[in-house]
Amino acid sequence: MLDRRRHPPGLAFTTWRARDGWDLRAYDWPAPASRGRLLFLGGRGDFAEKYLEAMAHWRGRGWSVTGFDWRGQGGSGRVGRDPLVNHLDSLDPLLDDLAEFVAARPAQVAVAHSMGAHLLLRLLAEKRARFDAAVLSSPMLGLRAGPLGTPAIAALAAAAARTGRGDRRVWEGDAGNVGGRMTSCPERQADKVWWKTNHPQIASGAPSWGWTRAACASIARLRPAALAAVDTRALLLVSRRDPIVSPRAVARAARILPLGQLELLPGRGHELLREADPIRERVLARIDEFLG
């Protein structure tokens, strides 16, 4: 059984340098008899250790897993003054990093979560990257904050940037898993806290207003015409009451994508790959079926 609080044997971390000289923490976990390479991409504020369990599952299915921590989070350095704040003025550098990484380490299939799923979809739409299949878990195609949607959030972020608060955190403290908004599994949430406490160099917290503004601008880039041109088989999964991203926007994208499929999950957890076992096992089984 995998120890979620220990790096497993065979998982290797390396430094991968982007074209502009930025060092990113990359990882590879080869399968003994590989059926191909699976690229995994986490979301905002994520780090590789949060998904060891999911990676082990795919490796057990014969996939060699590769990926990296996004620029400005995890083990890939920081952009803003406060290391616990995710700050960016644009998501375009992340998209460039992804395009370079995929060119250097081609993968047959890709699985991505939240911000990573959004950037993977932009890669397919704008860079015309090719995969046999792509899985988008809780893709960031629309933001939610209580009753507010993407337009209102974008307006607030723009106002904050105009008043010089672009690199300031959107909220104080760590919103964490209040009300099960990230996962309904307290044990997996405790694993995340353990990693952040015992390895503070990979920890981060709230997004900045600049990141929020950049995320809204990036979402606006995925217009219907761009989605309609994507010719990769895509599976989109989202909780029916996800409090972070808009399930309605995800469903709309699935209808527009020529080879898109939609899977709506019960509950409101955002991190489907770290959910309580009844939901998590359903998600992994659906992904296995799709990749098969």
pLDDT tens for residues 131-170? 999 999 999 999 999 999 999 999 999 999 999 999 999 9
What does the pLDDT read at residue 173?
Answer: 66
How is residue 238 written in tokens?
């989202």
Q: Distance between CA 285 and CA 271 in Å, rounded?
A: 16
pLDDT tens for residues 227-249? 999 999 999 999 999 999 999 99
pLDDT tens for residues 59-102? 999 999 999 999 999 999 999 889 999 999 999 999 999 999 99
Please, are residues 245 and 138 in contact by the beta-carbon 8 Å criterion? Answer: yes
How is residue 213 written in tokens?
């503004």
What are the C-alpha distances in Å from 49 to residues 55, 156, 228, 230?
10, 33, 34, 31
Q: What percent of the chain has pLDDT over 90?
A: 95
